[in-house]
Structure 1
Amino acid sequence: MADGAAAQERRGPPPGEQPGGPPGGRTSYANPSAVIAAELAFARDAQARGQWTAFAAAAAPEAVMFVPRMVWAQQWLLGRPNPPAAVRWQPHAVWSSCDGSLMLSRGAWQAGAGGASGWFTTLWQRQPDGAYRWVLDHGDSAAAPLPEPEMISAQIADCPPRAVRPVAGVAGGAPPRGGPARSAKPPKPPKPPKPRDLPPLDPAQRSGAAGDGSLRWQVAVDPDGARTLTVTWTKDGREQVLQVDRVAAPAAAG
């Protein structure tokens, strides 16, 4: 995507058990095709209902975007009129955490009759209802259009090692008197905050991680507005850098 507000004007495998990486890892139930479907629906919605309408509908309550400074997306989008023509975009690849709670998508955008184009990176988080909503979206322009792949690729992080269950009768593993304790009913997830209730946003940094820690992200924003998004994941038995996006400081107004 192009930088700032203009930057935002853009924009696998089947479900089921997946190999979880090195021996001893959990089985993955990640479904990258769910985020591929979410990206495609997001892009269609922008053309059908308008760009900012689609961004707001697909954003998580605490999503952030860059216009060009980092802002709470739902606050910035609230009541914002759509541009006459929405940016078009296409996802090219998706990477998922082992547990499927966090995914990264990357692709290309095109805008206007002048042929402007660029790239975007979006982080998607699974919500309590099972749907995926984006929690960070950014991008920049590119010197040349990104080549379109023959198909959207998808990869899954290695799964963390299985937890070793204690054995009854072994130190620390004996069940409590009266038999095993019943699992407590999980608490209801808190209601998402309304845009007006969001706390002040740290303009210099933000980060997040999958529930199992197999995919993590951090964005750092310099005082001049330049930013770096770093995404790491667990792959081939070790933590690796998956993606680093660097966006230059916005040009001074005037």
Structure 2
Amino acid sequence: MASRIASRRRQPSIPGAPLPHPNIHIESAGAITTVTIDRPRRKNACTPAMWAGLRHGFRDIAESSARAVVLAGAGGDFCAGADVGPADDEEASADQPPRHRIDHMRDIADTVMAIHDCPRPVIAKVDGVAVGAGFGMALAADMVWCSERARFSLIFARRGLSLDFGTSWLLPKRIGLHEAKRLAFTGDIIGASRAAELGIVNEVVAAEDLDAAVDEMAATLAAGPPIALANSKRFLNNASNISLFQALEAEALGQGVNFATHDTKEAMRAFVEKRDPAFEGW
């Protein structure tokens, strides 16, 4: 099933969805949707309009038939965060409308939520730099695969800024409060092996193997039961904010939903028949 999903014809975008931004590319191959930030000359640093493009893109994906999402950067880097430098061309100038900074930050917050709360499993594929908001974007995904040459930094302090893109909430949950403070206060750049030691990434692979490794995991996720996986994602995302009793109640309600689906019935039949289930998403 996974191989069939991965090998289906590549489509240019989600059918019926408008192009979110010229530098945000969305492609669908079967049940797997890939979102690529494509501004390599600025290491994929995002303008306000690009954040909006990501936000709208993920909202479209949430309502699509996609069953797994890969979030990546073009040109050998993941994302250098927000483009806070001078607008040195017409494209960048047009992407920075005159609005109060706090309005931009609230728009970015909506982008964080669109990625984090996407009901599909999201894999961040990190090559090169993931710094500032780019680091936060990787953390907003469900899992992170990176190359051996990946570099991560909460660079905010070096720019005279405090944390944003949800990093103050996301990172301590991933690596603990003390290590998160160390990265936040110093702005240190860490490599892939240190990121793995801290638990920031799931797996580190050679740069030439990164695409294949992520494709394999995405195909595995896309072959799974979408409704059950969406439930589990929500349970895990909410786990630190609710009591054990509330978690147990949510799990009970979730299983009530699952047992009413075709996919759970198919899984039970497949178990008895000693074969792999073929999940259809309903």
Shorter-chain TM band: under 0.3
TM-score for both structures, normalised by structure 2: 0.22
Q: Which has the larger radius of gyration?
A: 1
Which structure has more relative contact order (CA 8 Å, sep 6+)? It is 1
The structure richer in helix per residue is 2
TM-score for both structures, normalised by structure 1: 0.23
